[in-house]
Amino acid sequence: MKLESILSSREKMALNLLFALEEIGENPRVEFEIEKGHVISLKLGWINLQGEMDLLCYFRGLKTLELWNCRIGAIPEEFALLTHLRALTISFFDMAQAYEITDLVPTIFFLSALEELTLEQVIMNKEVEEAVGDLSNLIKLHLNHCGFCRFPPSFYNLYKLKDLSLAGNNIDEFPEKLFTLPLDKFFITNQFKMNFKNETESPIK
Question: Would you write out the chain's pLDDT as a tens digit for each of its 205 residues?
Answer: 455 457 889 999 999 999 999 998 878 899 999 998 899 999 999 999 988 999 999 999 999 999 999 988 778 888 888 999 999 999 998 776 677 776 677 788 889 899 999 999 988 888 888 889 999 999 999 999 888 888 999 999 999 999 999 998 888 888 888 888 999 998 886 445 555 444 444 333 3
| Count of CB atoms situated within 10 Å of the CB of 114 | 21
User: What are the structural domain ranges in the chain?
Assistant: 1-85, 97-205
- HSE of 30 in the Cβ direction (CA atoms, 13 Å)? 16
Calculate the CA dihedral of residues 182, 85, 40, 66 and round it to 10 degrees.
Answer: -80
- What string of DSSP letters covers 133-200? HT-TT-SEEEEESS--SS--GGGGG-TT--EEE-TTS------GGGGGS--SEEEEETTEEEETTS-E
